[in-house]
Amino acid sequence: MGLRARLSESRIVLAPGVYDALTAAIAADAGFEALYVSGAAIAYTRLGRPDIGLVSMTEVADHVARIADRVPTPLIVDADTGYGNALNVQRTVRAFERAGAAMIQLEDQTFPKRCGHLDGKGVIPMAEMVGKIRAAVDARRSAATLILARTDAVAIEGLEAAVQRAHAYAEAGADALFVEAPRTREDLARVTAALGGTRPLLANMVEGGRTPVLSAPELEAIGFRIVIFPGGIVRALARTARDYYASLASARTTEPFRDRMLDLAGLNDLIGTPEMLALGKKYDA
């Protein structure tokens, strides 16, 4: 089932964050119906730096292509601001669509952008973002490619202004809406009350962020149709890696950590080594 058809159902789509082919493969094996390719997670892991607009469009497109080659699961891809004006947005949409994105997220921040749960954000004029959404819709090759419009206006202009922006973005052709960083459960409910009949709505759950972290069933009951946990995998892996390296430095061996690791055979099973070797034999002379 395509993502557009899936979003016609009332049942919420839970999309975990991934940042490369390995995390995507593990998430797909867990049975998720969609995956969220997080720009922040790419910055954290590729650069070891924060989500402040340092990652380029071509770097993300390259990541998306590798992930799409590895898993068939629909990919919701974070395209930040579209990396420029309306013409840059069109190039971004074409590149991400070719790479394999099922849904492309565009936000109305000024450039350079920053994580939606950090202070100091700015937003472009609503009319400018409307033009960027229209440009994105015009640029896609297939109607199956969805445009997700995100507004960061809650932190700058307030919730009512953010809802007004989201309505305008829907009228410009966005297929789904994302109001970033509501502050309370009540604010989340206000978003769905104001926009729920307009387009499918996405909720962003960030551990330690501005929005209270609710479960997928709780968000479904409020009226959201998609929920992402974009950076959770990086936070989980970062803690594990910190503990692993501390253990190795202290014990001078991996033995104390072995029960928290895959062995070589386990990793090979996870990444499909036996299947790949069997496939190669099919083409032997």
Q: For 140-166, what is each residue's pLDDT tens digit?
A: 999 999 999 999 999 999 999 999 999
pLDDT > 70 fraction of the chain, expressed in percent and rounded: 100
In this prediction, residue 113 has a pLDDT band, given cuts at 50, 70 and 90, of: confident
| Coil, helix or strand at residue 109 | strand
Q: What is the pLDDT of residues 9-39, one digit of tens each?
A: 999 999 999 999 999 999 999 999 999 999 9
Predicted TM-score (pTM) of this structure: 0.96
For residue 112, cis peptide bond before it (omega within 30 degrees of 0):
yes
How many angstroms separate the Cα of 161 from the Cα of each of 142, 153, 197, 199? 31, 7, 18, 17
- pLDDT of residue 120 exceeding 80, the answer is no
Quote the pLDDT of residue 1. Answer: 72
